Amino acid sequence: MVMTKSNYEGRHSITWRGSSLDIVRLIALLLHPLLASSLVAWIWWQYSWKRKSRELKGEERAEHLGMHEQRGEKLLWAAIIVALVAVAGRAVAGWRTHGDFTAEIWPTSIHGITGPIGIVILWQLSRMGKRAKIAREQGDSFSHLKLKHGRMADIVVALVFIHAFLGFLYIFAVL
């Protein structure tokens, strides 16, 4: 492996067996999957509340419910940040490869198209959870909202794992 200057205005790359790889482009593109992997684990951990909520009682359950609600809001913001990192990575890749930030920014795969859709669905899930919380705090019936929130969480978790698998396959296409 030899560090050399690439043909792209002095940018560094790695040359190995005759192939050249731009280090900055590589880091920009791999930052999203690294962050997304931890996000998937966090989503799974948040989803485990469904099982845990049946096991806990009283004050302990109320405490864990409060943490679930707070973490759900933070999870939404983390997902938005991970999606923005993906867009930024594609912009850097376009700039490094073509000299234009917009050259690779538009999604060209099902993985790229479903990312923003997933953010909207996750936002809806968070919104449904907030509605259930407000209804619970006001003393209104919230069982239907809680049920919808749980079912939507089932769908989100399934879609997250499909999206992650497509992303794993997509890594080989962009690198």
| Residue-level pLDDT, tens digit, the chain, 175 residues | 444 444 444 456 666 666 667 788 888 889 999 999 999 999 999 999 988 888 999 999 999 999 999 999 999 999 999 999 999 999 998 988 888 999 988 888 899 999 999 999 999 999 999 999 999 999 999 999 999 999 999 999 999 999 999 999 988 887 6
Q: Is residue 154 within 8 Å of 44, Cβ to Cβ?
A: no
The predicted structure's pLDDT at residue 127: 95
Report yes or no on 16 lying in a domain: no
Domain around 48: 28-174
pLDDT of residue 149: 94
CB atoms within 10 A of CB 106: 11
What pLDDT is stored for residue 144 in this prediction? 94
* Gap between the Cα atoms of 9 and 146, Å rounded: 56
Q: For residue 17, what pLDDT is reported?
A: 63
H/E segment holding residue 120: helix 110-137
Q: Would residue 129 count as lying in a domain? A: yes
Cβ–Cβ under 8 Å, residues 146 and 33: no
Q: How far apart are the first and last CA of the chain?
A: 17
Q: Amino acid identity, residue 20?
A: S
Residue 127 CA: distances (Å) to CA of 56, 86, 120, 152: 24, 24, 10, 11
| Domain assignment of residue 23, yes or no | no
Q: How many structural domains compose the chain?
A: 1
Q: Per the structure block, which two tokens stand in for 53?
A: 């909520």
- 15 domain residue, yes or no: no
Tell me what pLDDT residue 13 has: 65
Residue 157 lies in a domain: yes
- Tens digits of residue pLDDT in 97-148: 888 999 988 888 899 999 999 999 999 999 999 999 999 999 999 999 999 9
